[in-house]
């Protein structure tokens, strides 16, 4: 059973409903992003109960894990040329920036007797995916002629690679470009997709352009943190998840290794500080599950000392609690903890 990620169902449904309402009120269609928990179907079900009907993930294999008759699926990582067939089969909409891929999507859609919807991503400074401004018109002209794809909108992604914050300047540009292209090419677009959880602060303070009618939100639903400035939104539970691990060894040992020193399990030459004798616990979780920076003990008198593939060593010297072998320790879960723990097949997810 351990290590395990415990998920509080009521809290998550509350978060989903709250964000859905916020979006509905602002006339924003919510694409709920599910990659952080690998689209675990049990968790997807809570999103569905909370009112989500459009699900978005970076990976086709995640989008294939569940099905409902009244939902749409969006692929938010621009597709690999080699997965186009699956994309058309599984996703209703995909985000795109490469004409070569879009042509192949169109071909494939015609083969499958479908029209695949695409949103064109526009580069606005963050330097991950997106078409640069000078090339947009020529891409739109090419896309318009394709029979298997329907251009349903324009979008942008910010604060992912370049840490660029959405503002009136870059989002203003998105809106202006989208409206101009829509008019010039008679596109009848459905979406202007204004980003991810880093755009939420503008939704909350009422400064998000009324023309933006779509957001793709992952982290804000799960943790209640808008990711532009890291502000917490108190109406959303921040503690939906708790990571629990078990102590498998607890002994007083030196803090300095003894013997001739070589390299550690990862080929590195580590250094150590002599803190004298230490009460050391080993918990059954390792780098293969959650990396050391994301092991965040709830008991603040516990310090994380080190980690190998499947062991994590903790310093319990300062603890008032008398821990023993077999005890379960609790850890806070942040975005990366959830991402890593969900990805590890050795960490179970338990809904409670
Ligand atoms: C991951 C991702 C999102 C969601 O990001 P959050 O910060 O979790 O809201 C939205 N759009 C794209 C393209 C993404 O890759």
pTM beyond 0.85: yes
C-alpha span between 97 and 12 (Å, rounded): 33
Mean pLDDT of 243-271: 92
What pLDDT is recorded for position 267?
86
**Per-residue pLDDT for 189 more than 90?**
yes
Mean pLDDT of 39-50: 98
| Residue located nearest, by CA, to atom 3 of ligand 1 | 196
Distance 195 CA to ligand 1 centre (A): 7
Mean pLDDT of 340-350: 98
Token match 């602002």: residue?
26
Kindly tell me the number of DSSP H helices and DSSP E strands found in the chain. 10, 16
Query: Which of 76, 122, 124, 214 maximizes ligand 1 atoms within 8 Å of its Cβ, making it the mutation to test the pocket?
Result: 76
Distance 89 CA to ligand 1 centre (A): 22
What pLDDT is recorded for position 247?
98
Ranges assigned E (strand) in the chain: 4-7, 29-33, 54-57, 72-75, 93-96, 116-121, 149-155, 191-193, 214-217, 241-254, 277-283, 296-297, 303-307, 312-315, 328-332, 348-351
Choose the weakest-confidence range: 22-31, 137-146, 251-260: 251-260
Q: How many C-beta neighbours within 10 Å does residue 39 have?
A: 24
35 is catalytic: yes
Query: Which of 19, 34, 79, 216 maximizes ligand 1 atoms within 8 Å of its Cβ, making it the mutation to test the pocket?
Result: 216
What pLDDT is recorded for position 270?
86
What pLDDT is recorded for position 352?
97
């Amino acid at each position: 059973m351990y290590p395990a990620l415990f998920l509080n169902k009521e809290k998550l449904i509350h978060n989903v409903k709250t964000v859905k309402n916020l979006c509905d009120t602002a006339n924003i269609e919510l694409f709920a992003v599910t990659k952080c928990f690998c689209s675990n179907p049990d968790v997807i079900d809570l999103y569905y109960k909370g009112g989500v009907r459009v699900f978005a993930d970076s990976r086709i294999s995640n989008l294939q894990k569940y099905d409902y008759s009244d939902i749409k699926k969006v692929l938010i990582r621009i597709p690999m040329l080699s997965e186009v067939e699956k994309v058309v089969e599984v996703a209703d909409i995909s985000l795109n920036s490469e004409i070569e891929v879009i042509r192949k999507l169109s071909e494939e859609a015609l083969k499958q007797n479908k029209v695949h919807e695409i949103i064109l991503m526009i580069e606005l400074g963050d330097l991950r995916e997106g078409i640069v401004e000078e090339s947009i018109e020529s891409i739109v002209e090419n896309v318009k002629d394709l029979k298997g794809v329907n251009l349903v909108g324009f979008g942008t992604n910010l604060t992912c690679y370049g840490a660029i914050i959405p503002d009136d300047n870059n989002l203003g540009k998105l809106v202006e470009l989208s409206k101009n292209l829509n008019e010039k090419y008679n596109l009848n677009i459905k979406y202007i997709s204004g980003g991810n959880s880093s755009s939420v602060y503008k939704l909350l303070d009422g400064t998000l352009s009324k023309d933006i009618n779509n957001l793709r939100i992952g982290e804000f639903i799960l943790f209640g943190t808008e990711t532009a400035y890291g502000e917490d939104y108190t109406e959303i539970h921040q503690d939906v998840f708790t990571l629990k691990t078990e102590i498998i060894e607890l002994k007083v040992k030196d803090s300095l290794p003894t013997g001739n020193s070589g390299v550690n399990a990862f080929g590195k030459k580590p250094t150590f500080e002599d803190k004298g004798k230490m009460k050391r616990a080993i918990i059954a979780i390792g780098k293969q599950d959650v990396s050391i920076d994301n092991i965040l003990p709830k008991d603040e008198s516990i310090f994380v000392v080190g980690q190998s593939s499947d062991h994590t060593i903790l310093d319990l010297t300062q603890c008032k609690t008398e821990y023993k072998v077999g005890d379960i320790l609790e850890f806070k879960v942040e975005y990366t903890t959830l991402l890593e723990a969900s990805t590890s097949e050795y960490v179970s997810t338990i809904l409670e």
